[in-house]
Amino acid sequence: ETGVTQTPRHLVMGMTNKKSLKCEQHLGHNAMYWYKQSAKKPLELMFVYSLEERVENNSVPSRFSPECPNSSHLFLHLHTLQPEDSALYLCASSQDHPIDRGVYNSPLHFGNGTRLTVT
């Protein structure tokens, strides 16, 4: 496996369900991210982890809960979601995050995303 892999690729869940999205990066990167992409809207940053510490949480509802057990794995735990949470959820990684080394030129490498539908 190379790059950034996400599972599952598609997920349909009811509003009372609990599910988790998984992301794994094989690039040796130090930072990992969750983004939400809704139709006709810019990518929205949800969470950032750098060296396994959460460094950003952009006012995301508590029904989304991230977990970063190590620098290669990132999870997004979902519970009691709303239909408006239906979107493409993208995981990404980068070599470094500016907060750690003041490095501003590390591009993001994205996984293939999880298409989430909340019914």
Binding site for other proteins (CB under 8 A): 40-43, 45, 56, 90, 97-99, 102, 104-105, 107-113
| Distances 53 to 66, 82, 93, 97, 117 between C-alpha atoms, Å | 11, 28, 14, 11, 29
The token pair at 43 is 């990518």
Closer residue to other proteins, CB minimum distance, 13 or 108: 108
Give min distance, CB of 85 to other proteins, in A. Answer: 19
Hey, what long-range contacts does 57-65 have (CB within 8 A, 24 or more apart)?
Answer: none
Closer residue to other proteins, CB minimum distance, 59 or 105: 105
Q: Is the peptide bond before 69 cis (omega within 30 degrees of 0)?
A: no
Give min distance, CB of 15 to other proteins, in A. Answer: 25
Give min distance, CB of 48 to other proteins, in A. Answer: 8
Closer residue to other proteins, CB minimum distance, 18 or 100: 100
